[in-house]
Amino acid sequence: MLAAAHTDGLCILDQQTLRKPPSFFLSCSSLSLPPVASSWSPDNKNLFIASAKTIHKYSAESNSLVDVLSSEDPIACLAVKDKTSVIFGSADKVHILEIATAKISQTFAVHKNTVNFLSSSSDATLLASTSSDAAYVHNLTLSSHTPLRGLPVSGQLSISACVFHPHTRTRLLLGLGKQLVIYDITRPSVPIKVFSLNEATSSGNITAISCSPFSKTLVAVATAGGTLGLVDLEKEKGYVVCIVSFAGRLRFLIALSSQTLSDDKRPSAYCVFMLLTGRRQYLSRYREWQAPPP
């Protein structure tokens, strides 16, 4: 299922709907406040949604929405750790919330500025948190916190996206301006690669990053000005190609397997990127450059 939370409503799209998606979303549940972040539980039964100072839990089975937590400080980002806890960023702190008790079990106070983005590794043992000018990796098993150094931040360049690679748990991708910055978190002193979008063909700074569910090297980036770019991480000098432009700000980017959109169970050579701007969605297909991983 795919969840799309917009200013005053929530839309859930199942696999059958995604095969022939509508141009506009129809809400299945109303929201009292605009959402700032959302994340599915590992079993896809519940969707956690953060608004300005509240975390809600939406049940897909009962189509019900309940409040889980009210925060004194504004909430900027959200990630699900496991079936029992969620993680959220509020002001300059990162909190781990136990769902059953609605109590905060841990707080990380390592940032000096507002925490804007969170990303959990594929095995949920690592958490990345970023503010405008700093990035930390938290080992949730060892309770250690490692700063990433060598970030090319400045007064005009700030971190605008943060994603762990789904196929490589130690690889973290950051968006800074029109740069895609890659870290191996086992070597946090400097980025291992930096890719730059073409100034002539890309419009605006990076706002979202999504990795292919099949390819270990293909990454898509969306920009504020409506540009979708593809990056091959394994090219010696990188490979960035702008394949399509859209009217309006691209705020979210999701990489889908094309099997999601068909009944064909065979591995497909295509990857589908869904882009969301306002209440309108776009689907863009791109033939991948390698076979799916085993």
The predicted structure's pLDDT at residue 1: 67
> How many C-beta atoms lie closer than 10 Å to residue 83's C-beta?
12
267-274: list long-range contacts, CB under 8 Å, 24+ apart.
Answer: 267/214, 267/291, 267/292, 268/214, 268/292, 271/212, 271/213, 271/214, 271/215, 271/218, 273/210, 273/220, 273/228, 274/2
Does the pLDDT value for residue 258 go beyond 80? no
- In Å, how far from its chain's centre is CA 270? 21
Radius of gyration of the chain (CA): 18
**Contact call for residues 186 and 145 (beta carbons, < 8 A):** no
User: Which pTM does this prediction carry?
Assistant: 0.80
**Contact call for residues 136 and 117 (beta carbons, < 8 A):** no
For the chain, which residues make up each domain, given as ranges? 2-287
**pLDDT tens for each residue of 6-36:** 677 777 777 676 666 666 666 677 777 788 8
**pLDDT tens for each residue of 225-250:** 777 777 888 875 544 544 444 444 44
Fold entry, domain 2-287 = Methylamine Dehydrogenase; Chain H (2.130.10)
**pLDDT tens for each residue of 28-77:** 777 777 888 889 888 888 899 999 899 999 888 888 889 999 999 999 99
Highest mean pLDDT among 152-166, 167-181, 220-234, 269-283: 167-181
